[in-house]
Amino acid sequence: MHRLFEFIELTDHERHTLDRLQGPSFKIGRGQTIRSLGDEVTEAYFLLEGWVLSSVGLAGGDRQIVKIHLPGDMLGSPSLVLRKAAETLTAVTPATLTKVSLKGFGRLFYDAPRLAAAFFMSCQQERVVLMDRITSVGRTRAAQRLAAFLLHLHDRLRVIAPEQDAAFHLPLTQEQIGDTIGLTSVHVNRTFREFDAMGIVHRRGHMIELRDFDALRRLAAVPAREWVRFPDWLPSPN
């Protein structure tokens, strides 16, 4: 179950190529680090189960979480263009992943052009997401950032599980949420309680229920994004 399905329908050949790309699956525990910023880049990963955070550390010790990875994501691909890994990958729940060999990935551009195009599109998609996030963090206040964050996460969960309703499990601490949207944990907490009080969201432990999507969307203020499926500029298979 790969995110690539968002853009193209895979042929048998492409599906097979994708399978051959990956090594055997392995598991890691909650809190474990898969790879740290600055490490040698020897492989990439696919995330099969669990949540993984991708973060960038600053000299001062602060860190920014640049991506919350959900099952189906490819991990570590930004580092393909670097000598040292760009990001630290940490599991926030127990996770199952596979390794992707760099050589295999490189061959893919020859063996499965349409698959390569899907990876390209997936990368552009990440770019758009980052653009929207930088817009949210750079130009809006705490409540708007938190609203955009919750909506975006909910959207992504729905892609993975179409039956997903308004409530979901959020296995992140408020500090991690803060590191994602550029706030301190203290202020994330205050903003959450504000949302509680307004009846916009409801929390019980790490279960979050979005109770007023319109209000959240109005707050978030980011433009809606409609991803293209089966783009007509991409030649059809064969």
159 near a copy of itself, rule: CB under 8 A: no
The nearer residue to DNA, 76 or 178, going by C-beta atoms, is 178
Find the binder of DNA among 20, 84, 127, 141 (CB under 7 A): 141
Whole-angstrom Cα Rg for the chain: 18
- DSSP assignment of 126-191 equals HHHHHHHHHHHHHH--HHHHHHHHHHHHHHHHHHH-TT--SEEE----HHHHHHHHT--HHHHHHH
84 near a copy of itself, rule: CB under 8 A: yes
Q: Which two tokens stand for residue 238?
A: 């064969």
231 near a copy of itself, rule: CB under 8 A: yes
Q: CA-to-CA distance for 183 and 188, rounded, in angstroms?
A: 6
| 183 touches 191 (CB < 8 A) | yes
190 near DNA, rule: CB under 7 A: yes
Site string for a copy of itself, 3-42 (x = CB under 8 A): ----x-----------------------------xx----
Is residue 235 helix, strand or coil? coil
What φ, ψ does residue 47 adopt, rounded to 5°? -95, 120
130 near DNA, rule: CB under 7 A: no
What does the longest C-alpha to C-alpha distance in the chain come to? Answer: 57
- Give the C-alpha distances (Å, rounded to integers) separating 121 from 5, 127, 234: 11, 10, 11
66 near a copy of itself, rule: CB under 8 A: yes
Q: CA-to-CA distance for 149 and 192, rounded, in angstroms?
A: 12
| 50 touches 89 (CB < 8 A) | no
From the CB of 188, what's the least distance to DNA, in Å?
8
Site string for a copy of itself, 110-129 (x = CB under 8 A): x--xx-xx-xxx-xxxxxx-
177 near a copy of itself, rule: CB under 8 A: no
202 near DNA, rule: CB under 7 A: no
Q: Which residues bind DNA (CB under 7 A)?
A: 30, 141-143, 173-175, 178, 182-187, 189-190, 192-193, 203, 205-206
Q: Which residues bind a copy of itself (CB under 8 A)?
A: 7, 37-38, 56-60, 62-64, 66-67, 77-78, 80-84, 86-87, 102-103, 105-107, 109-110, 113-114, 116-117, 119-121, 123-128, 130-135, 137-140, 179, 181-182, 218, 221-223, 225-228, 231-235
